[in-house]
Amino acid sequence: MFDNPSFDNHEGVHFFSDEKSGLRAIIAIHSTTLGPSSGGTRMWDYANSADMVTDALRLSQGMSYKNAMASIPHGGGKAVIWGNSKTDKSEALFRAFGRAVESLQGKYWTAEDVGIDTADIEIAAQETGYAAGLTTGKAASGDPSPITALGVFKGIKQTALRAFGTDDLNGKTVAVQGVGSVGGYTCEHLAEAGANLVITDIDQEALDDISKRTGAKIVAPDDIYDVDADIFSPNALGAILNADTLKRLKVKVVAGGANNQLKTPDMGEKVREAGILYAPDYVINGGGIINVAAEISGSYSRDWVDQKLDTLIGTLGTVLDDAIASGKPTNEVADEIARARIQAAKV
């Protein structure tokens, strides 16, 4: 693990196994400099354990930067569960996961992410006091996906403003990859703004539902990169901006809710060279963790969430403007700001 290219002086990487329930999980804590770490739990059927470790390392580092950019008092952490989210879920598994979270004694707060829904977190919360995104409780905030999607939509408008000279999306074609919780809500916002949608997903039922509600055109998963569009919005898994996909994109903007969209950091420069303006993922998709932070505080306020979200989108604008002015890739500009904020907290 220490030789893994994604290892970034993580404070702790914790492995959990429960034979009875079949739980295989990793909770990676990247940093607690700004406060207890927080980040969602992902359930995915990884090809091997090395891929699982890499995902946990990258996602937890991303959460440190995301929380710093969102100006919330949390460090970065992430949990991953190895399994098929369609077939391997059970009450016993999520109870075992809840006990794993509890064993860290508040160093990590969990919530929903890919493959995990509110019902799963509710089960885990029966075993730990460090779960959020709940539907019950004094400060319950529920599924954070709608707030994430709202931030993604606002971020798309911010990026479009700089790429096209207007944030009016009426008539713009947006290719959306992934129409699950975040992607689906994002499609609704885009359709209401008058955008023409081309969508893809591995879930045909979700595709049919979004298409019926928004008039979106459906394409095969691999064809989404070849769509003649203005904006590409990735809202599924990471590493989708790579040497193979970049040469196929015909867009001027990449802005979406997926984590770790760049396969490697140097892809940010290649995206810039291709004339594409990229909204750094951990900035544009920070709405959900803001919502979760409000719940963790013990006194949920939607007004506070909306204010924080607007500030975050303003920060995204600053990143884009600084990148354009300096000629640097946007991911490097965002990383510099996030690291500076974390470092300042160490003094």
Write out pLDDT tens, residues 9-29: 999 999 999 999 999 999 999
Q: Which of residues 308 and 239 earns the better pLDDT score? A: 308
**What's the CA gap between 160 and 195, in Å, rounded?**
12
Cβ neighbours around 114 below 10 Å, total? 21
> For 50-96, how does the pLDDT look when each residue is reduced to its tens digit (9 = 90+)?
999 999 999 999 999 999 999 999 999 999 999 999 999 999 999 99
Cβ neighbours around 241 below 10 Å, total? 28
Give pLDDT, residue 128.
Answer: 97
Give pLDDT, residue 227.
Answer: 98
Give the closest residue to 284 by CA, choosing from 251, 215, 235: 235
Q: Comparing 12-59+78-131 with 146-285+315-340, is the CATH topology the same?
A: yes
Torsion over CA: 213, 219, 222, 224 (sign): negative
For the sheet with 196-200, list strands across it.
217-218, 196-200, 173-177, 231-234, 253-254, 277-278
**What's the CA gap between 295 and 72, in Å, rounded?**
12
> For 26-52, how does the pLDDT look when each residue is reduced to its tens digit (9 = 90+)?
999 999 999 999 999 999 999 999 999
Give pLDDT, residue 36.
Answer: 97
Element (H, E) at 331: helix 330-346
**What's the CA gap between 199 and 182, in Å, rounded?**
13
The structural domains of the chain, with segments of one domain joined by +, span 12-59+78-131, 146-285+315-340
Q: Which of residues 152 and 239 earns the better pLDDT score? A: 152
Quote the pTM value: 0.92
Give pLDDT, residue 137.
Answer: 85
**What's the CA gap between 258 and 118, in Å, rounded?**
19
Cβ neighbours around 137 below 10 Å, total? 14
**What's the CA gap between 241 and 243, in Å, rounded?**
7
The CATH classification number of 12-59+78-131 equals 3.40.50.10860
pLDDT (average), residues 278-282: 97
Q: Is the pLDDT of residue 167 over 90?
A: yes
**Cross-strand pairs, 293:** none
Q: Is 37 helix (H, G, I), strand (E, B) or coil?
A: strand
**What's the CA gap between 167 and 144, in Å, rounded?**
25
Q: Is the pLDDT of residue 294 over 90?
A: yes
pLDDT band at 138 (very low <50, low <70, confident <90, very high): confident
Which of these is catalytic: 20, 66, 78, 154? Answer: 78
- 12-18 vs 108-112, strand pairing mode: unpaired
User: What's the CA dihedral at 323, 197, 114, 83 to 10 degrees?
Assistant: -130
Say which amino acid occupies 229: A
User: What's the CA dihedral at 255, 256, 262, 266 to 10 degrees?
Assistant: 20
Give pLDDT, residue 234.
Answer: 98
Give the closest residue to 34 by CA, choosing from 79, 62, 76: 76
Domain 146-285+315-340: CATH superfamily is NAD(P)-binding Rossmann-like Domain (3.40.50.720)
**What's the CA gap between 323 and 343, in Å, rounded?**
21
Cβ neighbours around 318 below 10 Å, total? 14
Give pLDDT, residue 116.
Answer: 94
Element (H, E) at 114: none
188 close to 214: Cβ distance less than 8 angstroms: yes
> For 220-232, how does the pLDDT look when each residue is reduced to its tens digit (9 = 90+)?
999 999 999 999 9
pLDDT (average), residues 279-285: 97
Whether 78 is a known active-site residue: answer: yes
The whole-chain average pLDDT of the chain stands at 96
Give pLDDT, residue 211.
Answer: 98
For the sheet with 75-82, list strands across it.
12-18, 23-31, 75-82, 37-44, 108-112
The Cβ-side half-sphere exposure at 318, using a 13 Å CA radius, reads: 13
pLDDT (average), residues 243-260: 96
